[in-house]
Structure formats: structure tokens, C-alpha cells
Amino acid sequence: MLKLAVLISGGGSNLQALIDACAAPDFPGKIVLVISNKPEAYGLQRAAAANILTSVVDHRDFAERKAFEVEMDRQLHELDVGLICLAGFMRVLTPWFVKRWQGRLINIHPSLLPAYPGVDIHKRVLAAGEKQSGCTVHYVVDDVDAGPIIIQQSVPVLPGDDESKLAARVLVVEHQIYPQAVRMIAEGKAWFI
Ligand code: GRF
């Protein structure tokens, strides 16, 4: 059983998808910890409702980014976490943290990477007149929204779409592919050394 930690900063709908997936008896992973850098993140309530251990590691309590990460790293090791899932975690991790967890650190991004890394994705996709968008689960490397891709899924961009309509359509498939990526890793079907 792969021990998962999910790192969040906000609503945590992807966290919820992982919680729901883990509830299936044959799912090869279990969430042992949810860390938020924001005390008000709604995802913390989702975790608590599922009886999952939560922790707030507020980056504002630390003088340096490294110290913030050292504390998260300590908690993750204490629980013997095997895979960290970033799910709307809005802090860029330093090369120190990324290296320590390389191959055991994944992220979900709402575009078909390598297209549209960064922020304001749906706005940029619409402005470019793209006919399709989608989402990607990938291993985390030093460069933001880079790293080997584990799974992607596309969705159409439809006439009349605005940012929120497109975001909602992408989110539906995010919730499908994130648990699939975790399953692939847990079953040894995806790896990155
Ligand atoms: C998702 O769109 C995810 O791809 C991006 O941040 C958003 C998080 O949403 N990294 P939620 O907190 O999981 O609802």
C-alpha cells in the first residue's frame, strides 16, 4: 500500500478525488497526511471529514523557504510517505526539496504540457483560439511544470467557453487522471529515477 501525502493550498477538489479513489477497496494507495500552507484552505476540511491527518505548515511562519520545506520534509519522513501529490499547492519548491523527493513527487496541471505552463492557463488557451485543452500529471523537476509526463487527457474547447466553463471541464478530467496516475505509480507502471 503506497503511503500518500497530498499538499494543497486551496479548495482541494483534486484532493477529494484522491480521497474518493482511496476509498475503493482495491486502490493501492492510502493518504496518510494532508499538508496545507494556508490555514484557511477548504481542502483541510475535506481531509478532516475523511479522518485523514492534516497539518498546516504556513510559509509565513518561516524566515526562509528552505526552513519551510525542512519542516514539511520532517513531517513527510516521520510518516514514511512514499509519494507526494501536489494538488493546487501554490508554492514553488526549491531544488533541495525536489531532489530529496525526486521520483516520489508529482503534480497536476490544467493544460496539455508542455503547452501552457505557469498561471492563467485557461485565459491563455482561449486567447490563442485553441481547439483543445486538457490536463497533465507529471513528475516534479526543478523547472516549473516540466518533468516527465505520467498521464494526460484532452478536452475540447467549445464555442462560447469562458475561463470558468473551460476550467470546470478540465477539472472533471483532472479528477479522473490524478487517481489513475497514483495507481500507475503504486503498481510500478510509471517511474522516474
Ligand atoms: C487544479 O486546476 C490543478 O490542476 C491546479 O490547481 C487547481 C487546484 O484545484 N494545479 P483544487 O484545489 O484541486 O480544486
User: In terms of Cα–Cα distance, which of 151, 10, 11, 175 is closest to 91?
Assistant: 10
Residue 25, Cβ neighbours under 10 Å: how many? 4
CB of 12 shorter than 6 A to ligand 1: yes
CA of 86 to the centre of ligand 1 (A): 9
CB of 10 shorter than 6 A to ligand 1: yes
User: In terms of Cα–Cα distance, which of 65, 64, 144 is closest to 111?
Assistant: 144
CA of 178 to the centre of ligand 1 (A): 11
14 CA closest ligand 1 atom index: 13
For 150-190, how does the pLDDT look when each residue is reduced to its tens digit (9 = 90+)? 999 999 999 999 999 999 999 999 999 999 999 999 999 99
Q: Sign (positive/negative) of CA torsion 124, 128, 134, 138?
A: negative
CB of 109 shorter than 6 A to ligand 1: yes
Whether 193 has a pLDDT exceeding 90, the answer reads no
Q: Which of 6, 149, 174, 175 to mutate to test the pocket of ligand 1 (most atoms within 8 A of CB)?
A: 174
**Candidate list 77, 109, 122, 138, residue with the active-site label:** 109
> Which residues does 48 contact at the CB level (< 8 Å), separation at least 6?
54
For 96-149, how does the pLDDT look when each residue is reduced to its tens digit (9 = 90+)? 999 999 999 999 999 999 999 999 999 999 999 999 999 999 999 999 999 999
17 CA closest ligand 1 atom index: 13
For 14-43, how does the pLDDT look when each residue is reduced to its tens digit (9 = 90+)? 999 999 999 999 999 999 999 999 999 999
SS3 string, 101-169, reads CCCCEEEEECCCCCCCCCCCHHHHHHHCCCCEEEEEEEECCCCCCCCCEEEEEEEECCCCCCHHHHHHH
CA of 174 to the centre of ligand 1 (A): 8
**122 part of the active site:** no
